[in-house]
């Protein structure tokens, strides 16, 4: 049973409870404080806050459980399939053999405070979440949001359950929160990003397995991608072609 947040007396914007998949969805576009405003509903209802640009890219019949997958195995399989055809210079200093999980991030800020700050920035006039609406998803943890919704944004690469499997590991190691979803875009806030280039490179390898288009779209090497998109970054955005 999904609790209707509207009935709990929380300070929520007007919104509607939907089914297939189940979620609560705000009636009006988000403002910079929307994610933080929705956060108290997590404790009250077990529903996770997120910003959605629309709700037409969910496939409830495809929902499965990330518990059925191991993050290291999932990343190994994705990396191995991609790396067989990749130019060696792009993957340097790594090879076609999966390099293993990156170490946990450096000094962490509070994950929820980081998420509130990142979403406030990304709902600005020049960012991709402008016009997105706040939502609450009945998920055990933020990383499970894509799997629970049956999100189809990465179907040309992998499915939402495998993504959530990896996101769970990032939640444990980097303090991520899934804060934004679009038809083919996903943004996470990062409370404990890598603070050294070596750790950023190891994390960039995971990004490549998770979403190779991030590297292919504008970067010739993992090293260049790691320096600009991973090192000390408190937000990671992924785009699948």
pLDDT tens digit sequence for 165-213? 999 999 999 999 999 999 999 999 999 999 999 999 999 999 999 999 9
Residue 163 scores a pLDDT above 70: yes
* Pick from 89-98, 120-129, 202-211: least confident: 120-129
* Pick from 62-66, 74-78, 207-211: least confident: 62-66
* Pick from 70-84, 105-119, 120-134, 137-151: least confident: 120-134
Task: Please tell me the predicted confidence (pLDDT) of residue 64.
Answer: 61
Task: Please tell me the predicted confidence (pLDDT) of residue 241.
Answer: 87
Computed over every residue of the chain, the mean pLDDT equals 91
SS3 assignment for the chain: CCCCHHHHCCCCCCEEEECCCCEEEEEEECCCCHHHHHCHHHHHHCCEEEEECCCCCECHHHCCCHHHCCHHHHHHHHHHHHHCCCCHHHHCCCCCCCCCCCCCCCCCCCHHHHHHHHHHHHCCCCCCCCCCEEEEECCCCHHHHHHHHCECCCCCCCCHHHHHHHHHHHHHHHCEEEEEECCCEEEEEECCCCCCHHHHHHHHHHHHHHCCHHHHCCCCCHHHHHHHHHCCCCEEEEECC
Task: Please tell me the predicted confidence (pLDDT) of residue 201.
Answer: 98
Predicted confidence (pLDDT) per residue in 132-153, tens digit: 999 999 999 999 999 999 999 8
Q: Stretch 15-23: mean pLDDT, rounded?
A: 88
Q: Please tell me the pTM assigned to this model.
A: 0.94
Task: Please tell me the predicted confidence (pLDDT) of residue 60.
Answer: 63
Residue 54 scores a pLDDT above 70: yes
Confidence of residue 55 (pLDDT cuts 50, 70, 90): confident
For the chain, state the CA radius of gyration.
Answer: 17
């Amino acid at each position: 049973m999904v609790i209707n947040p509207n009935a709990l007396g929380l300070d929520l914007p007007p919104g509607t409870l939907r089914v297939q998949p189940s979620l609560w969805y705000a009636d009006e576009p988000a403002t910079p404080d929307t994610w933080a405003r929705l956060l108290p509903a997590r404790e009250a209802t077990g529903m996770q806050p997120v910003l959605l640009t629309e709700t037409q890219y969910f496939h409830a019949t495809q929902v499965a459980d990330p518990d059925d997958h191991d993050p290291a195995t999932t990343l190994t399989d994705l990396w191995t399939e991609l790396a067989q055809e990749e130019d060696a210079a792009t993957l340097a200093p790594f090879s076609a053999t999966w390099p293993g999980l990156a170490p946990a991030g450096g000094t962490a800020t509070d994950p929820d405070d980081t998420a509130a700050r990142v979403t406030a920035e990304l709902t600005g006039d020049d960012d991709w979440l402008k016009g997105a609406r706040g939502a609450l998803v009945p998920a055990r943890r933020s990383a499970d949001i894509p799997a629970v919704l049956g999100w189809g944004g990465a179907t040309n690469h992998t499915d939402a359950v495998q993504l959530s499997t990896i996101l769970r590991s990032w939640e444990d190691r980097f303090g991520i929160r899934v804060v934004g979803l679009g038809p083919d875009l996903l943004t996470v806030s990062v409370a404990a990003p890598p603070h050294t280039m070596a750790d950023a490179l190891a994390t960039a390898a995971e990004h490549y397995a998770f979403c190779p288009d991030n590297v292919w779209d504008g970067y010739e090497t993992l090293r260049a991608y790691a320096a600009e998109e991973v090192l000390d970054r408190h937000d990671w955005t992924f785009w699948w072609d």
